[in-house]
Amino acid sequence: MKQMDLIMLNMSNFSEWEGGVSNRNYHVLKQLLNRPEIGKILAVDYLPITFKRAVRNYKEDLVLNLKDGQVVKRGLTYKITKVSDKLYVYSDITFWLRPKSTMKRIKKVAMSLNFGDLVLWSFFPLAAPYWDILGQKLTVFEAVDNWLLHSSYSSKVERLKKCYEQIKNSADLIFVVSKNLVNFFDDQPNVHWIPNGVDVNHYNKKFPLVNRDIADLPQPIIGYIGVIQNKVDFELIKYLADKNPDKSLVLVGPVWNEQDKSMAIFADNKNVHFLGYKKYEEAPMYIQQFSVGIIPHKKSGFSASTNPMKMYEYLACGKPVVATDNIGTDNVNQMIALAKDYEDFNKKLNVALEADNKSQQKERQEFIKKYSWFNTVSRMLELINNKLD
């Protein structure tokens, strides 16, 4: 099999992954690095679309160096880091100002690293109008969610609409995480629904000691893990806390600034605990302490375009799961409880707590094995190879 070299336009920065953040992009890249059909990968850090983000990237990715990398070239506005013989990380702060020039430099870097047959693999829709500059043989786009509905991109809606049209018209393959996104991309023949995955072994590992911030909390624990942003329904969590004063409601993850004021509604709820950001390495420890895992997301368009990685993580730990309906859980609906409203959510939560047993826990863990990241990426590579043949 002939090897292919990749340029990957990332949805976050490699330094974030090195610091313990994980997302679909991270897991896909990690898998690709172990595949014989992949030659070299140039992983391009999140390209800034504002001056503010460019300043952040400068501080975090140009000034500071990766722990496990060697800087092979550095300019005023960019840096190339060699992580391994197979992986190079490229950081650049000029995309917001000169997108074409940035893409030309990325191509020049790939050529200097002797990249051969080039495949572009993008998680970053805003680069779509400039894809052709790279001269790739095949273009793959991954839609992890719909940025048109994401609060962070509310000022970029018109620009994003044009980018998504470009993606529909020019991408050879489009991988989407939810059924909702299949329709968003007009259900074209090149659109493939490939849900998220999980590293089962990672979530099954045992911890001799458990951090006290969760170990000391009263059981049972109703747990949520993930970024706490505006898709999280604080009113629902408040309702659950009021209805279950004898249970601990635990939220593990960083709180976005926009949610700071909303947290005030829990002032009188002594059973609600925000434990803050935890690294990927620590995540299994916390989920293993949950009695039930919850996904209390608002039924908004954005939530419907997602496929929450946390549901895989809960199931990999054998935990019962209760989620709001219509939030992109279609592929695991038979293994989780879906709630149509607040009252139904609370009812199903308590049923899950009472009914849970070791047999069900094992069933959940067996079920989720088919959604390993290995299987997920194998499906993607099969589709790519079919296109290249």
Number of Cβ atoms within 10 Å of the Cβ of 211: 14
Query: What pLDDT, on the 0 to 100 scale, is given for residue 260?
Result: 59
Residue from 315, 31, 7, 11 nearest 144 by CA: 11
* 167-212 pLDDT per residue, tens: 999 999 999 999 999 999 999 999 999 999 999 999 999 999 999 9
pLDDT for residue 223 is more than 80: yes
Among positive and negative, which fits the CA dihedral 108, 112, 114, 115?
negative
pLDDT at 15 over 80: yes
Classify 388 in phi/psi space as left (phi over 0), alpha (psi -120 to 50) or beta: alpha
- In the predicted model, is pLDDT for residue 301 greater than 80? no
d(CA 25, CA 27): 6
Read out DSSP for 34-88?
T-TTEEEEEEE----SSHHHHHHHIIIIIIS--TT-EEEEE-SSEEEEE-SSSEE
Q: How would you list the strands of the sheet with 321-324, edge to edge?
A: 272-276, 248-252, 221-225, 292-295, 321-324, 337-339
Residues 6+ apart with CB under 8 A from 308: 196, 226, 295, 297, 323, 327, 328, 329
| Pairwise CA distance, residues 244 & 237, whole Å | 10
- CATH-assigned architecture of domain 200-370: 3-Layer(aba) Sandwich (3.40)
The residue extents of the domains of the chain are: 4-197+372-388, 200-370
Check for a shared fold between 4-197+372-388 and 200-370: yes
3-state secondary structure of 101: helix
Q: In the chain, what is the greatest distance between 2 CA atoms, to the nearest angstrom?
A: 62
Give 238-271 pLDDT, tens digit per residue: 999 999 999 999 999 998 765 556 788 899 999 9
Residue 327 has what pLDDT? 87
Strand partners, 249: 222, 272
What are the pLDDT digits (tens) for 330-381?
999 999 999 999 999 999 999 999 999 999 999 999 999 999 999 999 999 9
Q: Where do runs of H (alpha helix) occur along 121-270?
A: 157-170, 179-184, 200-204, 212-215, 234-243
Task: Tell me the CA distances in angstroms from 208 to 66, 211, 226, 308, 376, one per residue in order.
Answer: 30, 10, 24, 28, 31
What does the pLDDT average to over 217-224? 98
Q: What is the pLDDT of residue 258?
A: 57
Superfamily designation of domain 4-197+372-388: Glycogen Phosphorylase B; (3.40.50.2000)
Q: Look up tokens 């960019």; give the residue.
A: 78
What is the distance between the alpha carbons of residues 136 and 194, in angstroms, rounded to a whole number? 23
Share in percent of the chain as helix, strand, coil (round to 5): 45, 20, 35
Q: Kindly indicate the confidence band of residue 1, based on its pLDDT and cuts at 50, 70 and 90.
A: low
- What pLDDT score was predicted for residue 257? 67
Lowest-confidence segment of 35-39, 41-45, 227-231, 370-374 by average pLDDT: 227-231
Whether the per-residue pLDDT at 150 is higher than 90: the answer is no
Mean pLDDT of 292-308: 88
In the predicted structure, residue 106 carries a pLDDT above the cut 60: yes
> Residue 33: CA atoms inside 13 Å, Cβ hemisphere, count?
16
Q: Say whether pLDDT at 9 is over 90.
A: yes
> What burial letters (b/e) apply to 154-165, b meaning 16+ CB within 10 Å?
eebeeebeebbe
